[in-house]
Amino acid sequence: GPSMGANIPITDDLLLTLGAGYTHRGDFTRETDDGSGDFITRQKMKPGNTISLNASATYQLDTWSFMLGASYATESKTYIDGAENFRAGDRYTILGSVTQTWSNTWATVLSGNAIFSNKNETLPLGGSSVIPESYNSNNRVFRIGLDHLWTEGNWTLGPSISYLDRDKNAYDSLNYSYIPAKTRYAGGG
């Protein structure tokens, strides 16, 4: 999974960060059964590889700091026993934060992000190649948070509140888990 990036100072107060990454997942063999548990077979898996690009800009104005960033990730097809099986939809992320530094030990941070994903490509029953799913099973996720932080040495403490909205139910086939739609309000420290 090599990655590379650069921090480019535009002015004394403005920093541009650019990055790119590549994740090679590598082939492997997995064991699976026919559903009855009586017959075990081996499948040659070739998972999709991922390319990601990201950019952000950070601006410092006295005790204020502003950051705006974006990323894009695309994945190649996954093959099982040499046949196309799946391709995850391209993913887009937008994020940002505003920080007010009150003193050497106190700061307040407002942060947020939004994640969008295109439709996955799946293998239809009896098909030989993947096609875009008719319904986008991926989620749109929004999150915003507010933290008021006290920092001393290696310690950071403070209250935190956040809001998250995931627009619909999904099933994560790679982890065999159900991910419910939700709106979450959280508070803590």
pLDDT tens, position by position, 48-75: 999 999 999 999 999 999 999 999 999 9
Answer with the residue of higher pLDDT: 166 or 49. Answer: 49
Q: What is the pLDDT of residues 171-181, one digit of tens each?
A: 665 566 667 78
**pLDDT recorded at residue 2:** 83
* pLDDT value, residue 48: 93
Which tens digits make up the pLDDT trace of 85-135?
Answer: 999 999 999 999 999 999 999 999 999 999 999 998 988 888 888 888 887
Residue 168: what pLDDT? Answer: 75
Closest CA to 74 of 22, 124, 19: 22
Q: What is the pLDDT of residue 175?
A: 62
pLDDT digits (tens, 9 = 90+) for 3-41: 999 999 999 999 999 999 999 999 999 887 767 767 678
The pLDDT value given to residue 160:
96
pLDDT score, position 170:
65
- pLDDT, position 106: 96
pLDDT at 134: 82
pLDDT surpassing 90 at residue 157: yes
Lowest-confidence segment of 75-79, 159-163, 170-174 by average pLDDT: 170-174
> What pLDDT shows up at residue 167?
84
